[in-house]
Amino acid sequence: MRHFWMAIKHEITELEKTKNITLATNAAVGRLSDRIRALTVDIEDLQSYDNVWKSKLAAKSSNHLTKWIHQLQNPSDCETASKFYWKELEECGIGCVMHQLVRGLDHTMEKTQVLLANFNNSQYTHNGDLEDFPLLPISSCSNPMNVDNWEEYICQSTYCGPKTDKMNRRSDHKLSYIKEPRITKGFAFKPAAISDEVWLEMKSFHGNPRAWISGHMLNYLMRPKPWMEKILDQHEKEIDFSTPIV
């Protein structure tokens, strides 16, 4: 753009020297038009390169986040892994439950813990039978039989901390749990587990990194069991998605 501005100034200076202003003006417009076309091509090439770069960065970030969540939730040794147990989820619909679990993952990803949750109180189980729950287990580790030796935590909008230590964020307990069936959500905030550098990278290819991260969490949390997947596949065949359904 600086070179283009210099070219305009040069053409104006030359026009001041000419006697045939009409002929000189037409010639100047022609030369500047050529420069505009060349500049347009350069901008399009730059945008194309930028889109390719964004796509590669998005794919790389997506693979990293997906692998991170999966490895965290499925440790090689459940006995020695650090865990955070949601003792009793609120009795509500699937969307409500997922909102809560995303908040739980925010915490466990920061603390490098396995997120465990008790779904016995879910609207989708009958008499506590987890076989009725339509989604796959969120972890390869089992829920504890009791929490006698676990540290109780309480949660605020952006973090969770030990109840006996004034919610000291720096406190680390290998085994912790929360009693509240529902916790305050803080979805507008950057998850503490995500560094500022990575957050800025995400902003370069997505307008709402928080939503992008939550989407990957939900993609893991909402994996259907085989019987549920069959039901979804059948309904997919019956619904006409060629037009909006809402």
Q: What is the mean pLDDT of the chain?
A: 83
Per-residue pLDDT at 188:
67
Q: ∠ at Cα 135 (132, 138), nearest 5°?
A: 120
Residue with the bigger pLDDT between 115 and 30: it is: 115
Would you give the DSSP letter of residue 82? -
Strands (E), 53-190: 83-86, 114-117, 151-155, 160-162, 175-178
Q: For 224-233, what is the mean pLDDT?
A: 93
Range of 30-34, 45-49, 182-186, 236-240 with top mean pLDDT: 236-240
- Specify the range with the lowest mean pLDDT, choosing from 32-46, 81-95, 168-182: 32-46
pLDDT in tens, 12-60: 676 667 766 776 676 777 777 767 777 776 666 666 657 788 888 899 9
Which of 201, 147, 141, 149 is CA-nearest to residue 178? 147
| Domain range annotation of the chain | 72-235
- Specify the range with the lowest mean pLDDT, choosing from 19-23, 138-142, 233-237: 19-23
Residue with the bigger pLDDT between 30 and 79: it is: 79
**In this structure, how many other beta carbons lie within 10 angstroms of the beta carbon of residue 219?**
13
Q: For 151-159, what is the mean pLDDT?
A: 81
Strand partners, 120: none
